[in-house]
Amino acid sequence: MYTSEQLSSLFSAADNVSDYEDEKRKKKQRLVRNEFEKCGKYGMPLIRKQNIDLDKISLWNYTKTKLNDSENKDKTIHFFTYDWNFETVYQKPEIALERLDQYYALLTPEFSTYKDMPLARQIDSVFKNRWCGAFWQKQGMIVIPTISWGSYRCFEFCFDGVEEVSVVAVSTYTREDNKKGFMEG
């Protein structure tokens, strides 16, 4: 016969295994990132078209966001800055959401797609962009997909994951001489 302490110990061990399995499942999901509807050759997460009041769009840089920002809650957050300034929105999306869910809308992060970047890195940048957008939509946020491309090589995937006839954002600012590539897009 077991004492109450022994029974308690057995149940807490089972709970720990369950907690461990749950944590393992969450980490695998975060690594795989396959929870959203996919489209295109590379399985980009789909960002659904949303009704957006364009008169309400007032852009605010992600680097200026903060917790409890009641003064700027009507802003739409953009990520037109260096990737290292916003990498955490993909790496730690739940933590980033604590700061972002107070604003009117979010443009998806413009992870770099430089024309001289390896194609695999450009595909990954577009994937991260679409994943963030799909994640934010799942949380009830208004999302405007940002589309970027480095060169014609991107055209086979840079428009994937955005529902047709959606409002989108495109930055005309570039950190490299690529007017020809931009105009082709």
Q: What's the pLDDT tens digit per position in 66-124?
A: 999 999 999 999 999 999 999 999 999 999 999 999 999 999 999 998 888 899 999 99
Rounded CA separation 40/34 (Å):
14
> How far is Cα 107 from Cα 138, in angstroms, rounded to an integer?
15
Angstrom CA distances, 109 to 10, 52, 75, 96, 124, stand at 47, 18, 15, 12, 12
Residue range 18-36: average pLDDT?
77
Q: In this prediction, what percent of the chain has a pLDDT beyond 70?
A: 81
Residue spans per domain, the chain: 1-32, 37-184
- What is the per-residue pLDDT for 185? 57
For residue 65, what is the DSSP state? -
DSSP state of 61: E
Whether this model's pTM surpasses 0.85: no
User: Which of 23-32, 38-47, 121-130 is predicted with the least confidence, judged by mean pLDDT?
Assistant: 23-32
Q: What is the pLDDT of residue 26?
A: 72
Strand order in the sheet with 76-78: 59-61, 76-78, 105-107, 142-144
Q: Are 140 and 123 in contact (CB under 8 A)?
A: no
Q: Give the CA-trace dihedral at 99, 101, 103, 105, to 10 degrees.
A: 130
Please report, for the chain, how many H helices and E strands are present, in that order. 5, 6
The confidence score (pLDDT) of residue 182 equals: 59
